[in-house]
Amino acid sequence: MVMEVGRVCVKLAGHEAGKQCVIVDVLDNVYVVVSGPWVKRRRCNIAHLESLEQKVEIAKGASDEDVKRTLEAAGLVKTEKPSDKPSEPKEDTA
């Protein structure tokens, strides 16, 4: 898929891996600027992103609040933060 402003992606690398974000600016053919509810706005290599079919209508350079509001309106964001660690099974002490 084409990396374009408004394209919803999943980060594949780094400490934010597995979290959804939106492309807010295209810098060149290697780097884009991403932002999202659980992703800090920053430059990202497109090799570290997996683009999804969804695309939202946002302006180039949209603010973090605009990105969050647009994702919520489209129903693409969960209300709670995704867990970074897998849940551990509880032990019975009986």
- Domain range for 57 is 7-74
Report d(CA 47, CA 55) in Å as an integer.
Answer: 19
What confidence tens digit (pLDDT) does each residue in 7-51 have?
999 999 989 999 999 999 999 999 999 999 899 999 999 999 999
User: How many domains does one find in the chain?
Assistant: 1
Determine the Cα angle at 76 with ends 13 and 82, to 5°: 50
pLDDT 10s digits, 39-72:
999 999 999 999 999 999 999 999 999 998 998 8
Q: Is residue 89 part of a domain?
A: no
pLDDT at 85: 62
Tell me the sheet residues that pair with 11.
49
At 56, which CATH number?
Answer: 2.30.30.30
Q: Is residue 39 part of a domain?
A: yes
pLDDT band at 3 (very low <50, low <70, confident <90, very high): confident
**Whole-angstrom Cα distance, residue 22 to residue 57?**
10
In a domain, residue 90? The reply is no
